[in-house]
Structure 1
Amino acid sequence: MLFGTIVGSLADKQGRKRACITYCITYILSCITKHSPEYKVLMVGRILGGIATSLLFSAFESWLVAEHNKRGFDQLWLSVTFSKAIFLGNGLVAILSGLFGNLLVDTLSLGPVAPFDAAACFLTIGMAIIMSSWSENYGDPSENKDLFTQFRGAAVAIASDEKIALLGAIQSLFEGSMYTFVFLWTPALSPNGEEIPHGFIFATFMLGSMMGSSVASRLMARTSLRVESYMQIVFVISAASLLLPIITNFLVAPSGVKGGGISFSGSIQLIGFCTFEACVGIFWPSIMKMRSQYIPEEARSTIMNFFRIPLNIFVCVVLYNVDAFPITVMFGMCSIFLFVASLLQRRLTVISEIQKSRSQDWSMIKERDTESEPLND
């Protein structure tokens, strides 16, 4: 929240390509710190990792959108690119990376730090590709703005445009629930220490996310269907899927037997969790598409990192108090947040439709005035 937000926001001023290279460098250094047993060194690694994560979730998307528009490509292609990025990157490559990491640690017995060394190698390759083939683009290079001015401009843009504010709130609510879910699914499926196949379950989650991104690509390819419309349904479904741990807790008698395989209630919850991951797969390319439409180009990275401030605060507060509340309460809170996100999405849809209607009416008036000018002459 502290370091990543500041460094990530520099991308608009210093250049998105440069920010992506910085991501590679900071994450390589973060991976190197894993070789040290010293807490201070490891903490430096977490700071570097925080900076890299903020750059990962803002600089690359900002560079892509700017480059896409600069080259005059069809806007529909952007939706396809986002969908493929989630399908291949967040899904298929995540599964292959997990298997490769397992190969390095268990099969080849290279130790638990080996996956970080492998990651550093891939980051080096990625950095070489960026440096050799990408062109640079900026947010607003014409004005000499310091960091405080950038943040103030981003805050003004969010406060003055309700669509941007709604988009930021929706993103924070969904991602906050998603990151909380990451810490909750393991104790939810094994409350009595059941021996569950964590790797297989994670791969199943990634498969669900891939299916969701595939569905999103088909939905966004339909010009008659707006992203804002179907995302309301996605948020409601995701809210319902995280209610399953609460429902099974009331309807299915808890087992007091320690160990064993996954329980019946755990199997039901697993179905709900896979459904939620499918919603996550739809969410990512869809929110990217909406950000490309509503966030102004000159402050794209700054505003995107601004959105991550309440998200990081929320996750920190939840994790700090995770032992203070039953797991069902935590899932209930996430479900409420997702339902609120659906309401905000509904509001965003209404506002965008009203503005689109006004824009069409204004275009018709201008066209009519243009046609009447020769007659007036």
Structure 2
Amino acid sequence: MSHVHSPRSTSRRGDALFALTRRYVVVYVLGTFGDWIQGAYLYAAYRRHGLSKRTISGVYVLGYGVSATLGTALASVGDRRGHRVMVMAYGTMYAASCALMRSNAMWAVLTSRILGGMSYSVLFSNFESWVITEADEKGIERRRLARLFSVATFFNAASAVAAGLVANAVVELTDTRRLSWIGMDDTRSKLEQEVDFGESTLASSRNVYSPAFDVGVVSLLLCAAGAKHLWPKYDSSASNPSLSPSISSKETEGSSIQRAVQVILASHDLLRLGFANSLYEAALHLFVFVWTPILEQRSGEGVQVPHGMIFSGFMVCKMFGSQVFHILESRLLPERLLRIVLACSAVAFCSAVVFTHYWFTLGVFCVFEFGLGIYWPVMAVLRAKYVPNKMRATMTSAFRIPLNILVIGLLLIASRASDTVLLMTCGMIMVSSYISFGTQEAHIAAPAVDDIVPPADQHII
């Protein structure tokens, strides 16, 4: 018997989707704004603290290593304790990471990076996991979440533009005589020098870039407060036994991650999705390191590259990409759309290796960012389609383990390879991502989690 949906029930589902989108995007944008505002000044802040380039590289490697290990374990807790709780923890931990940037004591720098690495895993797993499980609780069809992810990507890019502008304004404002005590940097006019101020305390940091991180503290605490007050007090991922009957509350994070990896390895679709995800985002992280020196090299002698304007332009391209996804998602299968993005990204990087003109290079970089605006929502849709709810955060975070390992390896060789070689590496990684995803549409469903779970007496308690 076919079910006929009345206009009233359709309207109710539309209202539920709109309300869910609004509650999710507000909290998500506050969380991403707090992350973005650090990006423009993190390296510069480390330099201002007196750290050498080699030490900074080591600190970055530490962050990715923590994300792949402790971060993965932490994100998996959401599948048992609730994703809302983990998002609140994300805002609190990341705010503490930003606050510690006021100190140049090595213990503070390392603790800040450890907290940041763990928070990063939560950002890319528990937010998405909460909204998918909440949509299931509200009876919203998975295919309708494409619009939600498109909106989230659009505002994520908008928050990046706003974060860059706000951070720049705050840093410049604290350079005035009246407000210089906020930055407390008495060598503001010599920013190109590496200065070691010696030990400092959180209350008396002399790092001119600290105010940008202070804004991040506010945004991240608001993110935690938003999750607490705007999202339901119950958490379907933790309170609904029908969603997680095989997840023992006493199960360790290690055994949970092991089971998630077993499920991925047993499913052709999950395996190729994980490989495509890890390879694409590894190339993305490498691109973040190389686009600035490449454009500076190709701009010509004596030409000043407007880094802030270019970054904002990249984010605008990503915003356009998210809107194009909204148009195409009803016309093309998400698998085919992802395949197009991977192919175009590979062509963009490889052509930038062959053709070295400044404006051409800038153009293909914008093409890549445009594709990135499509990639984020289409990947979220595919994870919603194939990743089982019972271990959604754990599996999403497990996808990032090979990603973090790849990024660590790339960071270790980045200082020894030329920019052109690194750009070529981006192209080759994109080609590998396309090949790993394959040319056939997905047809094998992920196995039931219960089929992978060992008998009760074999559980690690």
* TM-score by shorter chain over 0.5: yes
The corresponding residue for 2:334 is 227
Contact 2:336 2:441 in 1 (8 A): no
Contact 2:387 2:395 in 1 (8 A): yes
Q: Could you report, residue by residue, the CA deviation over 1:284-306 in whole angstroms, capped at 9, with x for unpaired residues?
A: 00000000000111111111111
Q: 2: CA distance between counterparts of 1:75 and 1:301? A: 17
> Which ranges of structure 2 fall in alignment gaps of 5 or more residues?
1-67, 176-181, 184-208, 238-242, 447-461
Contact 1:17 1:137 in 2 (8 A): no
The corresponding residue for 1:258 is none
Q: 2: CA distance between counterparts of 1:186 and 1:216? A: 27
Equivalent pairs: percent with the same residue? 31
Q: 2: CA distance between counterparts of 1:115 and 1:54? A: 22
Q: Could you report, residue by residue, the CA deviation over 1:212-260 in whole angstroms, capped at 9, with x for unpaired residues?
A: 11111111133xx2011122121111111112331124xxxxxxxxxxx
Instruction: Tell me if 1:81 matches 2:148.
Output: yes
Instruction: Tell me if 1:4 matches 2:96.
Output: no
Q: CA deviation at 1:343?
A: 2.4
Supply the AA of the counterpart residue of 1:220: E
The corresponding residue for 1:218 is 327
The corresponding residue for 1:303 is 395
- Structure 1 SS opposite 2:438: helix
Supply the AA of the counterpart residue of 1:137: S
The corresponding residue for 2:373 is 281
Mapping for residues 159-238 of structure 1, pairs under 5 Å:
159-191=265-297, 194-222=303-331, 225-238=332-345
Query: Per the alignment, do residues 163 and 193 of structure 1 end up closer, same or farther by CA in structure 2, a change over 3 Å counting?
Result: farther
The corresponding residue for 1:242 is 349
Match for residue 102 of structure 2 among 35, 53, 63:
35
Q: 1: CA distance between counterparts of 2:111 and 2:302? A: 34
Q: CA deviation at 1:169?
A: 0.3
Contact 2:150 2:323 in 1 (8 A): yes
Contact 1:245 1:328 in 2 (8 A): no
Q: What do you get for the CA RMSD once the two structures are aligned?
A: 1.8
Match for residue 104 of structure 1 among 159, 167, 170:
170
Q: 2: CA distance between counterparts of 1:282 and 1:275? A: 11
Q: CA deviation at 1:77?
A: 2.7
The corresponding residue for 1:126 is 223
> Which ranges of structure 1 fall in alignment gaps of 5 or more residues?
250-264, 357-377
Match for residue 254 of structure 2 among 148, 154, 163:
148
The corresponding residue for 1:368 is none
- Structure 1 SS opposite 2:329: helix
Q: Could you report, residue by residue, the CA deviation over 1:191-232 in whole angstroms, capped at 9, with x for unpaired residues?
A: 26742010000001101111111111111133xx20111221
Supply the AA of the counterpart residue of 1:310: P
Contact 1:188 1:245 in 2 (8 A): no
TM-score (norm 1): 0.85
Match for residue 129 of structure 2 among 62, 73, 84:
62
The corresponding residue for 1:22 is 89
Supply the AA of the counterpart residue of 2:154: F
Q: 1: CA distance between counterparts of 2:163 and 2:97? A: 18
Contact 2:101 2:109 in 1 (8 A): yes
Q: CA deviation at 1:5?
A: 1.4
Q: CA deviation at 1:108?
A: 4.3
Equivalenced residue count is: 336
Q: 2: CA distance between counterparts of 1:351 and 1:118? A: 44
Supply the AA of the counterpart residue of 2:166: F
Q: CA deviation at 1:64?
A: 0.4
Q: 2: CA distance between counterparts of 1:134 and 1:332? A: 44
Q: CA deviation at 1:43?
A: 0.6
Supply the AA of the counterpart residue of 2:327: R
The corresponding residue for 2:412 is 320
Q: CA deviation at 1:101?
A: 1.0
Contact 1:76 1:221 in 2 (8 A): no
Q: CA deviation at 1:149?
A: 1.9
Contact 2:142 2:385 in 1 (8 A): no
Contact 2:143 2:381 in 1 (8 A): no
Supply the AA of the counterpart residue of 2:382: M
Match for residue 351 of structure 1 among 439, 442, 448:
442
Q: 2: CA distance between counterparts of 1:123 and 1:350? A: 39
Query: Per the alignment, do residues 7 and 236 of structure 1 end up closer, same or farther by CA in structure 2, a change over 3 Å counting?
Result: same
Bigger drift between 52-61 and 72-81 goes to 72-81
Bigger drift between 186-195 and 62-71 goes to 186-195
Query: Per the alignment, do residues 20 and 37 of structure 1 end up closer, same or farther by CA in structure 2, a change over 3 Å counting?
Result: same
Contact 2:335 2:442 in 1 (8 A): no
The corresponding residue for 1:44 is 111
Contact 2:269 2:445 in 1 (8 A): no
Instruction: Tell me if 1:157 matches 2:157.
Output: no
Consecutive aligned runs of 4 or more in structure 1 exceeding 3 Å deviation: none
Q: CA deviation at 1:118?
A: 1.1
Supply the AA of the counterpart residue of 1:210: M
